[in-house]
Structure 1
């Protein structure tokens, strides 16, 4: 069985991983060894994004473009954060399930659906932040989007009530 778990810095995504390791891979799904791909998607930095139509406008007008060193530094920082998040997730899987990691850049909801289709996974697992209808309408919901657009079965793991009320 091939499974993807979407991981970000939230407690809810780590709870979803913990739940999956404890309940899915702890004897409930038998047979051959399972492989979990831990996927972290970070959004591209908007700080250094230059619109494709931006260019110096002419004499006396200057445009400030970020140096490649600044862009590279920002990218390395994002990669280090992603690696730290996935390292924590790998520790949760150690000795329980075979796991691999994948870092992607883009919109998390789109990338999770895309990679699950490309890798032909059997199950996509994501955590739920427990947003209400209004917040979900304005902020969007990765789990809601994946539930409607993923081409594979999806498991949305809701956090326990104690965890949800502690954030309020």
Structure 2
């Protein structure tokens, strides 16, 4: 019985899921680079260890603006403007993910990409719970205590 539980513990330790929250900032790319250099071995040093690590890149798109007729700024967004904003948001997410993948290319590691929409803190916390991540890595914008 103890043998089974110890082998389960070994499997848990060997299969790690690390979520890295990325955005277009330099701070998040630095956090990704730090994660790769400090938490993940270079592929030429220990390939076996990297096979058991899943790196999840998480990008959170901001929620679309909602305007009501009572507090509208004097104009309404039509279908073309909304489509343009959605295309820009999608292109930005693609660009951020490509940049993050370029940073990961020197490491022999499984990379999974996830894109969420909403308030960043809520989406990140929900994703970490849903993915059952072992670790969350994210950059700091130096907002200070009250912004966090």
Q: TM-score range by the shorter chain?
A: 0.7 to 0.9
- TM-score, structure 2 length as denominator? 0.74
1:72 aligns with 2:80: no
1:90 aligns with 2:89: no
Structure 1: 5+ residue stretches without partners: 56-62, 142-168
1:41 aligns with 2:60: yes
Structure 2 counterparts to residues 58-137 of structure 1, below 5 A: 64-96=75-107, 97-132=109-144, 136-137=145-146
Shift in alpha-carbon separation, 1:64–1:11, aligned structure 2, 3 A: closer
Higher RCO by CA contacts (8 Å cutoff, separation 6 or greater) = 2
Partner of 1:13: 28
Secondary structure in 2 matching 1:30? helix
Query: Which consecutive segments of 4 or more residues in structure 1 shift more than 6 A?
Result: none
Compute the displacement of 1:95 (Å).
Answer: 3.9
- TM-score, structure 1 length as denominator? 0.66
Structure 2: 5+ residue stretches without partners: 1-15
Contact in 1 for aligned 2:22/2:29 (Cα 8 Å): yes
Compute the displacement of 1:131 (Å).
Answer: 3.3
More helix by percentage = 2
Q: How many residues align?
A: 125
Shift in alpha-carbon separation, 1:31–1:20, aligned structure 2, 3 A: closer
